[in-house]
């Protein structure tokens, strides 16, 4: 596996507010082992790692997570090469995630291409990135008092935090993911996704943190260390011993380790500060407790560069039908 070079890592972290791990070679290799065809483009200050997906009936599309990274000098020629390759492979559309609104304008220069806002965002449109400069005491002092209290409560109760790549602990994490998904009404990745991730991405980069209380693993998190960023990717917790506040101590140990590894930023992942339905209210408040004065970092969201309009419209129609079907199933299940 070709690792991300220091030069490319610097390029990604200068352009992408979440540190650029989803544009790393390690993430691309992981996608390949999941069975996806991948493509890599680069030219000076331009960079794009691409994942190819094939949908029933509507064919192939490309996805560029948190990208492409485009510089000022060669962005037009660079993106032309991406579009040319996509057309050569019969790609119907390219899903992009620009860092800023201005990155969209260059796509509009291409003939027979239209740019549409995606029906949904693949990656969170808003994330919370916490600077972790200063001493541990200073970092703690910047947190909300309730967050500090819960960290100390977990320590006082005897919660133990450790990292592991042993299969038994990977299995436990996957079990906790299933429990969390059922409790919170979310759809997780398949079990194999997490297992493959921990098998493929080096353990110096991806770490599984576990919180143990009275002999039971009560919570666990996946954290990636990439350049000057540490990123909280996935978290899960059980239904027992929630009173010991293990997730707070997990995050604090992860932040401490990030500092010791030379990281400058800790990315808590997605939040929603303007969520009218309050669907992310609890998780947003939890994360903001660690850095209450830090504003969220916002992205334009996912956009589709449409190359084959008929197939794209068919895909949108099928997605709408699937959404309606899932909604009806949920209503019927709740009635039974």
Please tell me if the domain spanning 6-123+300-335 has the same topology as the one spanning 126-298. yes
What is the model's pLDDT at position 327? 65
In 99-158 the beta strands, taken as DSSP E runs, fall at 114-117, 126-131
Length of the chain: 336
Hey, what CATH class is 6-123+300-335 in?
Answer: alpha beta
Residue 330 clears pLDDT 80, i.e. is over it = no
- Choose between 9 and 191: higher pLDDT: 191
pLDDT digits (tens, 9 = 90+) for 10-68: 889 888 999 999 999 999 999 999 999 999 999 888 999 999 999 988 999 999 999 99
Q: How far is Cα 128 from Cα 17, in angstroms, rounded to an integer?
A: 10
Q: DSSP per residue over 9-46, as a string?
A: HHHHHHH-TT-SGGGSHHHHHHHHHTT-EEEEEEETTE
Counting Cβ atoms within 10 Å, is residue 181 exposed (0-12), middle (13-18) or buried (19+)?
A: middle
By three-state DSSP, how is residue 104 classified? helix
Query: Which uninterrupted H or E stretch holds 154?
Result: helix 145-157
pLDDT digits (tens, 9 = 90+) for 50-63: 999 999 889 999 99
* Mean pLDDT, rounded, for 111-122: 91
How does the average pLDDT of the chain come out, rounded? Answer: 92
Hey, what CATH class is 126-298 in?
Answer: alpha beta
Show me where the domains of the chain are located: 6-123+300-335, 126-298
How many other β-carbons are positioned within 10 Å of the β-carbon of residue 29? 17
* Mean pLDDT, rounded, for 202-208: 96
Sole residue written with tokens 């500090």: 148
Query: Which uninterrupted H or E stretch holds 135?
Result: none
What is the model's pLDDT at position 333? 60
Q: How far is Cα 282 from Cα 96, in angstroms, rounded to an integer?
A: 29
What is the model's pLDDT at position 1? 66
Are residues 236 and 269 in contact, defined by beta-carbon separation less than 8 angstroms?
A: no
Enumerate residues 6+ apart whose C-beta is below 8 A from 99: 15, 16, 17, 66, 69, 299, 300
Nearest to 93 by CA among 309, 318, 299: 309
- Choose between 262 and 275: higher pLDDT: 262
* Mean pLDDT, rounded, for 62-77: 86
What is the model's pLDDT at position 6? 85
What is the model's pLDDT at position 189? 94
What is the model's pLDDT at position 318? 86
Q: How far is Cα 44 from Cα 294, in angstroms, rounded to an integer?
A: 33
Residue 311 clears pLDDT 80, i.e. is over it = yes
Q: Which residues face 211 on adjacent strands?
A: 161, 219
Q: How far is CA 167 from CA 150, 164, 208, 251, in A?
A: 30, 9, 11, 22
Largest CA distance in the chain: 64
Q: DSSP per residue over 203-232, as a string?
A: TTTEEEEEEEETTEEEEEEEEEEETTEEEE
Confidence of residue 106 (pLDDT cuts 50, 70, 90): confident
Q: Which residues face 206 on adjacent strands?
A: 224
pLDDT digits (tens, 9 = 90+) for 167-179: 999 999 999 999 9
Q: DSSP per residue over 298-335, as a string?
A: E----EEEES-HHHHHHHHHHHHHHHHHHHHHHHHHHH
By three-state DSSP, how is residue 309 classified? helix
- Whether omega for the bond prior to residue 23 falls within 30 degrees of 0, making it cis, is no
- Taking phi over 0 as left and psi of -120 to 50 as alpha, with beta for the rest, 112 belongs to left
Confidence of residue 334 (pLDDT cuts 50, 70, 90): low
What is the model's pLDDT at position 7? 85
What is the model's pLDDT at position 70? 86
Nearest to 234 by CA among 267, 279, 185: 267
Confidence of residue 328 (pLDDT cuts 50, 70, 90): low
By three-state DSSP, how is residue 46 classified? strand
């Amino acid at each position: 596996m070709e690792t991300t070079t220091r030069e490319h890592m610097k390029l990604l972290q200068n352009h992408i507010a979440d540190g650029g791990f989803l544009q790393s070679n390690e993430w691309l290799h992981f996608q390949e082992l999941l069975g996806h065809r991948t493509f890599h483009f680069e030219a000076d200050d331009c960079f794009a790692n691409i994942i190819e997906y094939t949908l029933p009936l509507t064919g192939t599309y490309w996805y560029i997570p948190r990208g492409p990274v485009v510089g000022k000098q060669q962005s037009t020629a660079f993106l032309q090469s991406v579009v040319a390759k996509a057309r050569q492979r019969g790609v119907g559309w390219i899903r992009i995630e620009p860092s800023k609104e201005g990155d969209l304008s260059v796509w509009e220069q291409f003939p027979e291409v239209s740019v549409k806002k995606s029906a949904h965002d693949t990656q969170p449109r808003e994330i919370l990135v916490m600077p972790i400069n200063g001493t541990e005491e200073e970092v703690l002092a910047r947190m909300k008092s309730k967050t500090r209290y819960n960290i100390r409560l977990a320590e006082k109760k005897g919660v133990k935090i450790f990292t592991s790549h042993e299969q038994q602990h990977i299995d436990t994490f996957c079990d906790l993911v299933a429990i969390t998904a059922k409790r919170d009404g979310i759809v997780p990745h398949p079990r194999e996704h997490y297992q493959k991730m921990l098998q493929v991405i080096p353990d110096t980069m991806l770490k599984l943190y576990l919180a143990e209380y009275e002999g039971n693993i009560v919570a666990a998190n996946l954290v990636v260390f990439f350049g000057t960023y540490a990123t909280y990717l996935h978290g899960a917790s059980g239904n027992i011993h929630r009173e010991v506040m293990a997730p707070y101590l997990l995050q604090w140990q992860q932040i401490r380790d990030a500092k010791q590894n030379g990281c400058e930023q800790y990315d808590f992942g997605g939040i929603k500060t303007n969520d009218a339905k309050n669907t992310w209210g609890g998780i947003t408040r939890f994360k903001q407790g660690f850095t209450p004065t830090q504003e969220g970092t916002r992205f334009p969201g996912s956009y589709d560069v449409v190359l084959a309009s008929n197939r794209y419209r068919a895909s949108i129609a099928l997605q709408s039908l699937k959404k309606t079907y899932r909604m009806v199933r949920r209503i019927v299940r709740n009635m039974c």
